[in-house]
């Protein structure tokens, strides 16, 4: 890539601004400024639908070194509203690379900015919280641009599921012998999720967020999965009622990220916005039952408000916090069991499918299978 | 899970003397471990023979044994202390091997000592290549195919040759259980293979070599892994080597984090690393796993693991802020990672993986200039003696900072010197890995080579090559711009160019560039190493500079003292100086100052964020230090800057710092100059009536010969500006002198050569003293065991002096005081004297903390460096006596019956180097320092102390057997007595014909061996070299014949000493050394050699001193 000398401007809603150079597409973009601390995996991050309408700041200072390949996308497109890096690589070096990051950003019209103090920006977001922002190569007056930022909607109250979900169902066949069938509700699903299920013999029916309980039961699935996704879980009433129906139907449930928040709401808990969220691939989460720590990939700005100290009774059974983030005690997982202690459903706030991120939590997909198997057995017994 | 309460006392083993491959990083690890274990309430017993370490300071352990790290001696410590557990994973390969030996001999079981950190089986699985390979190849990980290089384990030359037939050339040889890769390397053909296999089989304690397929040129990575007993595993750091496979990681330029891996590839590597640590069974603690990746298809090979804290762990700790050794010690005593707080954030736990928002580059520092015949090609056998690390917000900035941190004028990229070689020649040179390869890469690019050509020639990843190209592009813009605009200047700084580099591109001075830069407000900001990429607030001010927008230096109220460290370890300036800097930080913090450390050496205790209140990981150049000073002066009051403790590196910045308004405390820069400048120093000596050897300064061979004939041979010749004795030689006649001048191309009229009268048969004496302007405190008087002429850093010495009378000591005291007062010292001064007959000559004076300060401090139980720091900030010696920091009466030269005899012995790196023909480099000692480290032997008598020092430094003196003797004519008279004594002790004496004749006439029974150059006789009589190689010789005494005109020592002596290195046989090259050795052998043979802790020695000394002052009071 030829380094452009096109100036670019990033402005935050509180008026702080950073000048830099254009990177990727030129133009103007708006979104919620958030930072991600992963040192690898920008391709997966950029194509993660959960980043819809967010301007992502990479804290890792040199980005683009391995270019862009045709294999690592987590969805059909780049979702971030804008990309902020300190130093963008002008060459790419990797045997799997097909083009440069800059080329891909331009091709997809994603506005970026580079050569600014990303650490100062990150510290600002840490201290003041995630906030609305803009990147522009056309408006270089911060006073003007900040006015436009203030006209943008906030992330709190945003319902973005419709933006990212599929319009028609897709079936991901099981790899090898099919042992289970699962309905996966696409609230912004990443491709690695059905992939990891398929590797375990699960046939995954990825359904649009508009799917109904009837659509699910008609498939005769062994379990239901709700994916990650963007926006404020407080607005996702349709998903909550769908999940309530699933639980009433006695179908085993597994949820990731947004799917954890929906589960929380279905169980009667509230959700709230974190000051600056958890975004990175180094977050320590403890399984409260075993005491074991897993290093997890995370990308969430909202969290479930559930008590750590005690179980909470629900109409299906006892709900409890199964995982916590060791950095700040944020709820990272929920579990619902019936009176016998049989797990009816569980979910995690973090990303066991990783991509990008460590594979420590992949066992949760095995646990989903165990839960489905246990249900099958009890179902047969019943 | 809380810490273990079933153990209360833990034995920690250090790593012994600093050698190539095992340096001060293990002092850093060990110090952290001792600190943590004591904080946790355990009784810590420490064994380490290296007095220059912080960990052997008596306050870091409950019982500190400065004793040789051999299974025999450690067993004695175990018997005396009865520890419950032994922690062997923090003292490098030395500690690990010792613990393994103690396990195998049943000692640990006998005394009920549990190995913690890593158990015996895990160590075996990690270190035994066959077992490790089987583990790797047997791992089952979804989506990953873990494999190790195809290889064959061999135990004989025949097996090696068979393996070659199977695997094809080139091949890699890896002998088992050797440290730092001794004996390993590439064999490209049968000839090389045979030669290397012989060396490798000998180097391996189990006579075992792994022969494996070549993965030369692949990308190389390392992961630092940490595990606790609950099986929580984290990756602390990923490291990518800029130099592709084929260069030892210790000799490679390395980068953290890995720069050219996608997440999929990184996670596959992470999965394999975690599976390995589990399968090997390192239950608790850190380990290091190395990987190679084929750049064409991504095939990943696991190279090896270290089931212990390593050099890379120290680097990773400094690079991330995650203190691996400290955490390793905590998990070893039972904590789980989630129970341990992350010091830096205070709020989050250690069970996480650090995220970096900066780039770290480490560059090795070599010492090939010290071994001119050594081959500088880099292989899998480590050759560097130190390293510098730098942190920047991009790779190029960090690389440029690291290169200038090396303090080698050839290291920073040179854009100005015209290039005379063509592209092909330069690419050819760049294709050979050697020190300075990256500078050749830059030259090739300047000459017009493309990035692709450089990649093809070097196999350096294209991403890294492009970074170098970008540096060149910015340099060219700086060079070609009509005016140096603010934007361009900022771009130059952002990519890491220094003011001097910009100055040379703009044909101006660095001062001018700095002035312009400051006037434009283009100054670095200081960011923080915080383990978490700013996700959480950092509590530890661990800073690095970068050209960015926002600085993070917090204001403060307490006055600060800046301590300038000593930069990368090198021969002549190593851990001893770091020791003094750390002591200054510790004592000044106690004294109410805010201590600010500036250093760039990742191996040290000084660059631990725990050591000082603030740490700046920065190059020690004028530009970088001025920026740190500027930032700190803006943050609050600065009481002063200490330049006296970090060796020559900070000392030579003193004047320029002062000229720029920086307050230097202690001895003034003018006084420093007075001591360094010969003429001025001569005036000080003359005023005090002190003699110095006669000398002259020559600009040509003829002048030098005139001077030599005037002052008399032998003479010591050296360049007038000299670092660590570089380029020094002793010559005995006109021919040799002419040869020296002809070879010494560095001599110019501006850089004349000094010709000193060399004092034959003199006793050399080293003194460290403290002076506050009114009172002198003699820290210690050391008598060298070798005669004058051998660099003091290479010479064994004893404290107290064993042959000096009280009157000599008094004269030394008076002379030292006169010099300290004459120079104007406020703090420490080191003076070297030579006593020839009755005349005490002054050889040189260094107004700074010397290499021997830690040795003296440990031998006398007085912390000289701490006292020095206090004196520099205004305390008087009287006050320090009153406060207990110095002895209340007398000083380090006062005779105390209860004090031990301390012997320091130097450790040489000769076995590390080969000539390009594969031969050993000469092991002859001279006025140029060659040792990398030192050990201390402590005992009540000289003989035993000396024997311990020999055991600690190279394995020890023989108790009997055959001694080979070959003595230069001038030494024959003096050598007869000790050789005779050797014979009386039961040694069989063999000698060359001339020596044998002399010995026979003196009643010694001698067998004659053929001389080396004669070769083996037709009747099968072996030459001396054959006898040595056959293992028939146990001790070699061979004094050199002096250098001949071509500068090459006589060939015979050279081959004898080389053979001695190969066979690891003690080789003594001076008569004084032989006398000491004979005493040592006598003592060792006379009976049990005991062990005693520093604390016990110090208590006895304190009691005697107290009793003495009581008596004085009673009188």
* Tens digit of each residue's pLDDT (9 = 90 or more) over A48-69: 999 999 999 999 999 999 999 9
pLDDT at residue B1049, rounded to an integer: 46
> pLDDT class for B96, splitting at 50, 70, 90?
very high
Verify that A127 and A269 share a domain, yes or no.
Answer: no
Partners of residue B352 in chain A, C-beta under 8 Å: 282-284, 295, 326-327
B1050: pLDDT confidence band, cut at 50, 70 and 90? low
**Under an 8 A CB cutoff, do B394 and A89 touch?**
no
Average pLDDT over residues B907-935: 76
Lookup: tokens for B100: 């393994």
Give the confidence band of B999 by pLDDT, cuts at 50, 70, 90.
very high
Write the residue in B230, B260, B356 that is nearest to A39 by C-beta. Answer: B356
Q: Using a CB-CB distance cutoff of 8 angstroms, which residues of chain A are in contact with residue B462?
A: 91, 93
Contacts of A19 in chain B (CB under 8 A): none
CB of B397 closer than 8 Å to CB of B495? yes
| Domain end among B738, B758, B778 | B758
Closest by CA to B149, choosing from B301, B304, B305, B306, is B301
Q: Which residue of B has its CA nearest to A5?
A: B487
pLDDT of residue B725: 53
Chain B residues within an 8 Å CB radius of A190: none
Yes or no, beta carbons of A119 and B357 under 8 Å apart: yes
Task: Please indicate, yes or no, whether residues B809 and B859 belong to a single structural domain of this protein.
Answer: yes
Q: Which candidate from A86, A94, A293 shows the least CB-CB separation from B260?
A: A94
Domains in chain B: how many in total?
A: 6
Is position B237 within any domain? Answer: yes
Which of residues B522, B552, B580 is at a domain's end? B522
pLDDT at B1041: 64
Closest residue in B to A293 (Cα) is B232
Q: Which of A99-103, B831-835, B1013-1017 has the lowest mean pLDDT?
A: B1013-1017
Residue B1111 has pLDDT above 90, yes or no: no
pLDDT of residue B279: 94
B259 contacts on A by Cβ (under 8 Å): 62, 65
CA atoms within 13 A on the CB side of B36: 27
- Contact across the interface for A61 and B336, Cβ inside 8 Å: no
Of A150, A181, A199, which residue sits at a domain end?
A150
Give the model's confidence band at B1114: pLDDT under 50 very low, under 70 low, under 90 confident, else very high: low
- Chain B residues lying within 8 Å of A44, measured CB to CB: 263
pLDDT of A227 over the 90 cut: yes
Closest-CA distance, A121 to chain B, in angstroms, reads: 9
Q: Distance between CA atoms of A267 and A251, rounded to whole angstroms?
A: 15
A254 lies in a domain? yes
Q: Tell me whether residues A280 and B535 touch, CB distance under 8 A.
A: yes
pLDDT band at residue B1047, thresholds of 50, 70 and 90?
Answer: very low
CB–CB contact A327 B348 (8 Å) = yes
Q: Are A59 and B234 in contact (CB < 8 Å)?
A: no
Please write the tens of the pLDDT for every residue from B510-521: 999 999 999 999
Residues of chain B contacting residue A95, judged by C-beta atoms under 8 Å apart: 295-298
Closest A-chain CA to B238: A39
Expressed as residue numbers, the domain containing A19 is: 7-150
- Chain B, window 333-372: residues with a beta carbon less than 8 angstroms from a chain A beta carbon: 336-338, 347-349, 351-359
Looking at the structure, do residues B366 and B454 belong to the same domain, yes or no? yes
Please tell me which of the candidates B264, B349, B533 has its beta carbon nearest to residue A326: B349
- B924-968 pLDDT, tens per residue? 667 778 889 999 999 999 989 999 999 998 878 898 999 999 888
CATH number at residue A264: 3.40.50.880
The reported pLDDT for the residue numbered B916 is: 65
CATH for B787: 3.30.470.20
Binding residues of A for L-glutamine: 50, 229, 231, 258, 261, 299, 301-302
Of B395, B463, B536, the CB nearest to A93: B463
Question: Do B905 and B815 fall into the same domain?
Answer: yes
Domain identity same for B769 and B858: yes
Residue B3 is assigned to a structural domain of this protein: no
On whether both B530 and B511 belong to a single domain, the answer is no
Chain A contact present for B703, CB below 8 A:
no
User: What percentage of chain A carries pLDDT values higher than 70?
Assistant: 98
Q: Is the pLDDT of residue A256 over 50?
A: yes
Residues of A carrying an active site annotation:
257, 351, 353
Mean pLDDT of chain B: 91
pLDDT for residue B1070: 78
Q: In the predicted model, what is the mean pLDDT of chain A?
A: 96
> In this structure, is residue A1 part of a structural domain?
no
Query: Does residue A198 sit in the same domain as residue A250?
Result: yes
Residue of chain A nearest B256, judged by CA positions: A39
Mean pLDDT of B142-146: 87
Instruction: Judge whether A2 lies within some domain.
Output: no
CA angle B424, B429, B434 (to 5 degrees): 160
B433 vs B380: CA distance, rounded Å: 11
Of A40, A85, A116, A197, which to mutate for an interface test with B (greatest number of B Cβ within 10 Å)?
A40
Do B290 and B438 have their domain in common? no
The whole-number pLDDT of residue B128 equals: 86
- Is the same domain home to A292 and A206? yes
Helix B864-872 / helix B575-590 crossing angle, nearest 10 deg:
60
Q: Does B533 touch chain A (CB under 8 A)?
A: yes
pLDDT given at position B1107: 87
Q: Note the pLDDT of residue B750.
A: 63
pLDDT of residue B1113: 65
Count of CB atoms within 10 A of residue B1086's CB?
11
Chain B residues lying within 8 Å of A69, measured CB to CB: 262
Surface of B (126-145) touching A: CB under 8 A: 142
C-alpha–C-alpha distance, residues B317 and B344, integer Å: 12
pLDDT of residue B518: 97
**Closest to B534 (Cβ–Cβ): which among A119, A283, A292?**
A119
Q: Is residue B1103 part of a domain?
A: no
Please give the residue of chain B at the shortest CA–CA distance from A35: B535
pTM: 0.94
- All residues of chain B having their beta carbon less than 8 Å from the beta carbon of residue A175 are none
Same domain for B826 and B687? Answer: yes
Reported confidence tier of residue B704, pLDDT bands at 50, 70, 90: confident
The answer to whether residues A295 and A375 belong to one domain is: yes
- Is the pLDDT at B1088 greater than 80? The verdict is no
Cβ distance A142 to A164 under 8 Å? no
Write out the DSSP string of B735-780: HHHHHHHHH-TT--SSS-EEEEE--TTPEEEEEEEEE-SS-EEEEE
pLDDT of residue B88: 93
Distance from CA of A38 to the nearest CA of B (A): 7
Are residues A282 and B354, on separate chains, in Cβ contact within 8 Å? yes
| Largest separation between any pair of C-alpha atoms in chain B | 87
pLDDT tens by residue, A122-143: 999 999 999 999 999 999 999 9
CA pair distance A59, B535, nearest whole angstrom: 9
How high is the pLDDT of residue B374? Answer: 85
Give domain status of residue B108, yes or no.
Answer: yes
B918 pLDDT tier (thresholds 50, 70, 90): low
Burial of B776 (0-12, 13-18, 19+ CB in 10 A): buried
Inspect the interface and report whether the beta carbons of A66 and B261 lie closer than 8 Å: yes
State the nearest Cα–Cα gap between A93 and chain B, in angstroms: 6
* Digit-coded pLDDT (tens) for B318-377: 999 999 999 999 999 999 999 999 999 999 999 999 999 999 999 999 988 888 778 899
* Residue B1012 falls inside a structural domain: no
Give A331→chain B minimum CA distance, Å.
Answer: 15
Cβ B295–A355 below 8 Å, yes or no?
Answer: no
**pLDDT band (50, 70, 90) for residue A176:** very high
Do A221 and A317 share a structural domain? yes
Of the candidates B262, B336, B552, the beta carbon closest to that of A96 is on: B262
Query: Which segment of B242-256, B751-765, B891-905 scores lowest on mean pLDDT?
Result: B751-765
* Mean pLDDT across B890-909: 92
B984 touches chain A (CB under 8 A): no
| Cα–Cα distance measured from residue B650 to residue B672, given in angstroms and rounded to the nearest whole number | 12
CATH number at residue B646: 3.40.50.20
Mean pLDDT of A234-252: 97
Q: Domain with A55 in it: what CATH number?
A: 3.50.30.20
Instruction: Give yes or no: residues A24 and A62 share one domain.
Output: yes
Are residues A217 and A280 both part of a single domain? yes
| B999 lies in some domain | no
The pLDDT score that the predictor gives to residue B179 is 59
Same domain, A258 and A312: yes
- Nearest in space to B921 (alpha carbons), one of B387, B185, B368: B368
CB nearest to A122's CB, from B260, B264, B533: B533
Same domain, A283 and A338: yes
Contact B357 A61 (CB under 8 A): yes
Q: Is residue A147 classed as helix, strand or coil in its secondary structure?
A: helix
Are both B672 and B818 inside the same structural domain?
Answer: yes
Does A321 fall in a domain?
A: yes
pLDDT on residue B675: 87
Please state, in angstroms and rounded to a whole number, the distance separating the CA atoms of residues B287 and B306: 6
- CA angle at residue B199 from B197 to B201, to 5 degrees? 65
pLDDT band at B180 (very low <50, low <70, confident <90, very high): low
Positive or negative: CA dihedral B232, B236, B242, B247: negative
Residues A26 and A83 in one domain: yes
Chain B: nearest CA to A78, how far in angstroms? Answer: 17
Total domain count for chain A? Answer: 2
In this structure, are B131 and B274 located in the same domain? Answer: yes
For B791, the domain range is 666-691+761-939
Count of other CB atoms within 10 angstroms of residue B456: 13
What interhelical angle do B510-520 and B499-506 show, nearest 10? 110
Residue whose structure tokens are 């819809």: A52
Instruction: Report the candidate in B592, B541, B548, B615 with the shortest Cα–Cα distance to residue B874.
Output: B592
């Amino acid at each position: 890539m030829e380094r452009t000398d096109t100036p670019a401007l990033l402005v935050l809603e509180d008026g702080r601004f950073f000048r830099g150079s254009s990177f990727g597409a030129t133009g103007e973009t708006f979104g919620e400024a958030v930072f991600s601390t992963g040192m690898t995996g920008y391709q997966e991050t950029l194509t993660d639908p959960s980043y819809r309408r967010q301007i992502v700041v990479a804290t890792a200072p040199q980005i683009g070194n391995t270019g862009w390949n045709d294999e690592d996308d987590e969805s059909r497109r780049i979702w971030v509203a804008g990309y902020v890096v300190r130093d963008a690589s002008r060459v790419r070096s990797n045997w799997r690379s097909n083009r440069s990051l800059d080329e891909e950003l331009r091709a997809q019209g994603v506005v970026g900015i580079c050569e600014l103090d990303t650490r100062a920006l990150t510290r600002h977001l840490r201290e003041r919280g995630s906030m609305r922002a803009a990147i522009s190569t056309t408006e270089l007056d911060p006073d003007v641009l900040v006015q436009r930022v203030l006209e943008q909607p906030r992330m709190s109250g945003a319902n973005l599921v419709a933006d990212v979900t599929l319009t028609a169902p897709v079936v991901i066949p099981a790899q090898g012998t099919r042992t289970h069938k699962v309905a996966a509700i696409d609230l912004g699903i990443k491709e690695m999720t059905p992939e990891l299920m398929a590797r375990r013999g699960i046939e995954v029916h990825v359904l649009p967020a508009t799917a109904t309980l009837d659509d699910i039961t008609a498939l005769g699935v062994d379990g239901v999965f709700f994916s990650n996704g963007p926006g404020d879980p407080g607005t996702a009433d349709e998903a909550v009622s769908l999940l309530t129906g699933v639980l009433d139907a006695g179908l085993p449930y597994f949820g990731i990220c947004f799917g954890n928040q929906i589960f929380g709401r279905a169980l009667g808990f509230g959700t709230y916005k974190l000051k600056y969220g958890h975004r990175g691939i180094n977050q320590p989460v403890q399984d409260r039952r075993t005491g074991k720590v897993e290093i997890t990939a995370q990308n969430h700005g909202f969290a479930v408000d559930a008590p750590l100290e005690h179980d909470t009774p629900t109409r299906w059974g006892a709900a409890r916090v199964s995982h916590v983030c060791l950095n700040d005690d944020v709820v990272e997982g929920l579990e619902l069991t019936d009176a016998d202690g049989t797990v009816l459903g569980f979910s995690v706030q973090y990303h066991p499918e990783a991509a990008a991120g460590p594979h420590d939590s992949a066992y949760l997909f095995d646990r989903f299978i165990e839960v489905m198997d246990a249900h099958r057995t009890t179902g047969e017994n019943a | 899970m809380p810490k273990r309460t079933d153990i209360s006392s833990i034995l920690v083993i250090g790593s012994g003397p600093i050698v190539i491959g095992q340096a001060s990083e293990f002092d850093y690890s060990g110090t952290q471990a001792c600190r943590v274990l004591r904080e946790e309430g355990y009784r810590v017993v420490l064994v380490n023979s290296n007095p220059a370490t912080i960990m052997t300071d008596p306050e870091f352990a409950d019982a500190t044994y400065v004793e040789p790290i051999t299974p025999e001696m450690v067993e004695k410590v175990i018997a005396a202390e009865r520890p419950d557990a032994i922690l062997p994973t923090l003292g490098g390969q030395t500690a690990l091997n010792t613990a393994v030996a103690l396990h195998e001999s049943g000692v640990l079981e006998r005394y009920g000592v549990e190995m913690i950190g890593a158990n015996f089986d895990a160590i075996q699985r990690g270190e035994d290549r066959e077992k490790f390979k089987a583990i790797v190849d047997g791992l089952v990980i979804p989506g990953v195919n873990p494999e190790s290089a195809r290889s064959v384990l061999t135990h004989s030359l025949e097996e090696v040759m068979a393996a070659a037939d199977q695997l094809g050339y080139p091949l890699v040889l890896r002998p088992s259980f050797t440290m730092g890769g001794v004996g390993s390397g590439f064999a490209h053909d049968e000839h090389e293979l045979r030669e290397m296999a012989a060396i490798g089989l000998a180097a391996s304690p189990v006579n075992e070599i792994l022969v494996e397929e070549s993965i030369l040129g692949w990308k190389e990575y390392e992961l630092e892994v940490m595990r606790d007993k609950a099986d929580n595993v984290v990756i602390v750091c990923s490291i990518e080597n800029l130099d592709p496979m084929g260069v030892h990681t210790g000799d490679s330029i390395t980068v953290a984090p890995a720069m050219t891996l996608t997440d999929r590839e990184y996670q596959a590597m992470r999965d394999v690393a975690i599976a390995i640590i589990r399968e090997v069974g390192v239950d608790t603690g850190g380990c290091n796993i190395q990987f190679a990746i084929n750049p064409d298809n991504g095939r990943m090979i696991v190279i090896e693991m270290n089931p212990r804290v390593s050099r890379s762990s120290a680097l990773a700790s400094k690079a991330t802020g995650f203190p691996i050794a400290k955490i390793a010690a905590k998990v070893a005593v039972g904590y789980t990672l989630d129970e341990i707080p992350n010091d830096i954030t205070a709020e989050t736990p250690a069970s996480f993986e650090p995220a970096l928002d900066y780039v770290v580059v480490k560059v090795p520092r070599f010492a090939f200039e010290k071994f001119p015949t050594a081959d500088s090609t880099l292989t899998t056998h480590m050759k560097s003696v130190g390293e510098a690390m730098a942190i920047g917000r991009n790779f190029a900035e960090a690389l440029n900072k690291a290169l200038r941190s090396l303090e080698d004028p050839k290291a920073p990229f040179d854009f100005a010197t015209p290039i005379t070689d063509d592209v092909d020649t330069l690419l050819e040179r760049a294709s050979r890995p050697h020190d300075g390869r990256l500078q050749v890469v830059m030259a090739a690019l300047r000459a017009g080579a493309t990035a692709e050509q450089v990649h093809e020639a070097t196999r350096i990843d294209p991403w890294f090559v492009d970074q170098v190209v970008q540096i060149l592009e910015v340099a060219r813009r700086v060079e070609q711009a009509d005016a140096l605009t603010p934007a361009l200047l900022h771009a130059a700084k952002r990519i890491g160019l220094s003011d001097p580099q910009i100055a040379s591109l703009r044909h101006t001075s660095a001062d001018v560039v700095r002035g312009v830069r400051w006037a434009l407000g283009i100054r670095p900001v200081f960011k923080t190493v915080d383990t978490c990429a700013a996700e959480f607030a950092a509590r530890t001010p661990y800073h690095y500079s970068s050209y960015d927008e926002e600085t993070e230096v917090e204001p403060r109220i307490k006055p600060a003292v800046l301590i300038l460290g000593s930069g990368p370890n090198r021969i002549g300036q190593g851990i001893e100086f770091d020791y003094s800097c750390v002591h200054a930080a510790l004592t000044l913090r106690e004294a109410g100052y805010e201590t600010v450390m500036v250093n760039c050496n990742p191996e040290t205790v000084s660059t631990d964020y725990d050591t000082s209140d603030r740490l700046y990981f920065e190059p020690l150049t004028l530009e970088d230090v001025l920026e740190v000073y500027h930032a700190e002066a803006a943050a609050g009051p600065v009481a002063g800057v200490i330049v006296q403790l970090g060796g020559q590196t900070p000392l030579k910045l003193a004047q320029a710092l002062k000229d720029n308004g920086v307050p230097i405390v202690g001895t003034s820069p003018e006084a420093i100059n007075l001591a360094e400048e010969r003429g001025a120093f001569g005036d000080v000596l003359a005023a005090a009536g002190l003699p110095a050897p006669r000398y002259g300064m020559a600009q040509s061979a003829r002048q030098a010969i005139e001077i030599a004939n005037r002052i008399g041979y032998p003479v010591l010749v050296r360049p007038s500006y000299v670092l660590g004795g570089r380029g020094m030689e002793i010559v005995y006649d006109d021919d040799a002198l002419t040869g020296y001048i002809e070879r010494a191309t560095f001599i110019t009229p501006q850089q004349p050569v000094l010709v000193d009268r060399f004092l034959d048969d003199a006793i050399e004496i080293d003194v460290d003293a403290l002076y506050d302007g009114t009172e002198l405190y003699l820290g210690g008087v050391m008598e060298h065991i070798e005669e004058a002429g051998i660099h003091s850093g290479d010479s064994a010495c004893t404290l107290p002096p064993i042959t000096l009378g009280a009157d000599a000591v008094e004269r030394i005291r008076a002379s030292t005081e006169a010099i300290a007062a004459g120079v104007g010292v406020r703090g420490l001064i080191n003076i070297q004297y030579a006593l020839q007959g009755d005349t005490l000559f002054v050889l040189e004076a260094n107004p700074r903390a010397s290499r021997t300060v830690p040795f003296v401090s440990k031998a006398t139980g007085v912390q000289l460096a701490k006292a020095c720091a206090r004196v520099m900030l205004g305390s008087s010696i009287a006050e320090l006596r009153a406060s207990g920091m110095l002895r209340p009466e007398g000083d380090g030269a006062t005779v105390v019956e209860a004090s031990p005899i301390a012997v320091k012995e130097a450790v040489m790196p000769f076995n590390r180097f080969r000539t390009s023909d594969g031969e050993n480099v000469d092991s002859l000692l001279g006025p140029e320092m060659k040792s990398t480290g030192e050990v201390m032997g402590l005992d009540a008598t000289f003989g035993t102390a000396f024997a311990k020092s020999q055991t600690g430094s190279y394995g020890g003196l023989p108790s009997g057997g055959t001694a080979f003797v070959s003595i230069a004519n001038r030494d024959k008279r003096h050598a007869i007595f000790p050789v005779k004594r050797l014979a009386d002790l039961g040694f069989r004496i063999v000698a060359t014909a001339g020596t044998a004749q002399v010995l026979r006439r003196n009643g010694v029974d001698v067998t004659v061996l053929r001389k080396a150059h004669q070769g083996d006789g037709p009747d099968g009589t072996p030459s001396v070299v054959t006898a040595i190689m056959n293992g028939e010789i146990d001790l070699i005494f061979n004094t050199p014949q002096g250098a001949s005109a071509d500068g090459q020592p006589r060939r015979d002596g050279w081959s004898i000493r080389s053979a001695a290195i190969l066979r690891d046989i003690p080789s003594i090259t001076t008569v004084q050394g032989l006398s000491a050795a004979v005493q040592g052998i006598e003592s060792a043979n006379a009976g049990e050699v005991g062990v005693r802790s520093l604390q016990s020695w110090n208590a006895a000394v304190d009691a005697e001193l107290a009793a003495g002052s009581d008596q004085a009071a009673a009188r």
